[in-house]
Amino acid sequence: MKGFLPVSIQTPGMQVLHAALAPLSSRYVQVDDLPWEDTRFPGIRIKVLMEDPATGLQTVLTEMAPGAVLTDHEHTQLEQSWVLQGSLVDHEGEVTAGNYVWRPAGSRHSAHAPQGALVLGFFLKPNRFF
């Protein structure tokens, strides 16, 4: 059906509110109302803004404390990152506040935030960590 929103697309914690909407209605998300979730990586926490558990599609706000490291991982599909604050550094370079980087499927790296970072990330599939 054209324009149908798959049932699995959601914003965690907002399913009840969004369930009352028509299939083609916009889903507004009050980001400040979403809780930060700790990750398994020290100094890194996230807010999942939208996800489709059936496909792995996600839009994620990531907060990295100064010096935090996201360990060696592979992008199983295209990854896009827009750095809102701070910077994100890897072996290929640095993306600074207000700038954007995308990485092809199959690319692999570790990333760190020397001064901390706030990053809006778009994932077609979850990363694979080593």
Cα–Cα nearest to 109, from 72, 76, 78, 75: 72
Mean pLDDT score of the chain: 92
CA angle 105, 106, 111 (to 5 degrees): 95
Residue 1's pLDDT is 44
Judge contact between 123 and 81, C-beta under 8 A. no
Residue 61's pLDDT is 98
pLDDT in tens, 68-127: 999 999 999 999 999 999 999 999 999 999 999 999 999 999 999 999 999 999 999 999
- Please name the residue that has the structure tokens 């059906």: 1
Whether the pLDDT of residue 129 is over 80: the answer is yes
Q: Decide which of 14 and 92 is more confident.
A: 92
Counting every residue written for the chain, the total comes to: 130
Q: Decide which of 2 and 120 is more confident.
A: 120
> What are 69's two structure tokens?
């490291």
> What are 60's two structure tokens?
């994620």
Residue 3's pLDDT is 52
> What are 118's two structure tokens?
């706030």
Share of the chain above pLDDT 90, in %: 80
Q: What's the CATH fold of domain 36-129?
A: Jelly Rolls (2.60.120)
What is the SS3 string spanning 41-58?
CCCEEEEEEEEECCCCEE
Please give the Cα distance from 29 to 52 (Å, whole number): 16
pLDDT band for position 20 (cuts 50, 70, 90): confident
